């Protein structure tokens, strides 16, 4: 399932293999977030995840992106550095909407809103995410940041489509189509 517009901001969700409908809480699949005009995806490696958990968490985070004009007016690199270094922000997980680790590479998506738009920042870096402290630490020498600004109304439409039941339904329809 693809939600949004590739090469701007999109969410790609794919169920892998068979699953029992009675146990939809353990559906395995892949989840990617696309950010930027250059087709950057996060993560940029194949990683299997529990889709029920990841989709639910992502939807909750996207629905609760904080409004902060001070951060919103900064460029991507300054926002990311402020969020990870400032005591005021580094423990505030509302700005941090997605994270995944693969082979010692960290993939994160941060977001901040003003009253009309939301800036999303995809970050690929070497570093670590300490879940116990809810802190991200990046190696600045290996920091790649992709950025996209989206209208809050468009983002809300995407959030409404972000539903594991819709993903299951689309997966079942695709299976029916190819089994004919």
CB atoms within 10 A of CB 127: 19
The upper half-sphere exposure of residue 121, i.e. CA atoms within 13 Å in the direction of its Cβ, equals 24
Tell me the average pLDDT across 1-18: 88
Backbone angles phi, psi at 59, to 5 degrees: -60, -45
pTM score above 0.95: no
Beta carbons of 129 and 106 less than 8 angstroms apart = yes
- CA dist 30 and 8 (Å) reads 19
- CA dist 172 and 18 (Å) reads 10
Q: Residue 19: which pLDDT band, with cuts at 50, 70 and 90?
A: low
What digits encode the pLDDT tens for the residues 79-133? 888 887 888 887 788 998 987 776 667 788 999 999 899 999 988 877 666 677 6
pLDDT value at 22 more than 80: no
């Amino acid at each position: 399932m693809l939600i949004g517009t590739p090469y701007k901001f999109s969410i790609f969700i794919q169920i892998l293999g068979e699953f029992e409908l009675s146990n939809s809480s353990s559906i395995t699949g892949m989840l990617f977030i696309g950010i930027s005009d250059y087709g950057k995806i996060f993560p940029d490696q194949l990683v299997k995840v529990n889709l029920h958990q990841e989709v639910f968490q992502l939807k909750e985070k996207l629905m609760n992106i904080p409004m902060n004009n001070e951060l919103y007016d900064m460029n991507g690199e300054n926002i990311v550095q402020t969020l990870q270094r400032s005591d005021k922000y580094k423990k505030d997980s509302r700005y941090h909407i997605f994270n995944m680790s693969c082979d010692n590479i960290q993939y994160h998506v941060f977001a901040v809103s003003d009253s009309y738009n939301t800036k999303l920042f995809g970050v690929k870096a070497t570093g670590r995410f300490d879940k116990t402290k809810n802190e991200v630490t990046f190696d600045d020498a290996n920091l790649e940041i992709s950025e996209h600004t989206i209208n809050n109304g468009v983002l809300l439409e995407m959030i409404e489509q972000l539903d594991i039941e819709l993903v299951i339904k689309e997966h079942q329809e695709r299976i029916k189509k190819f089994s004919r």
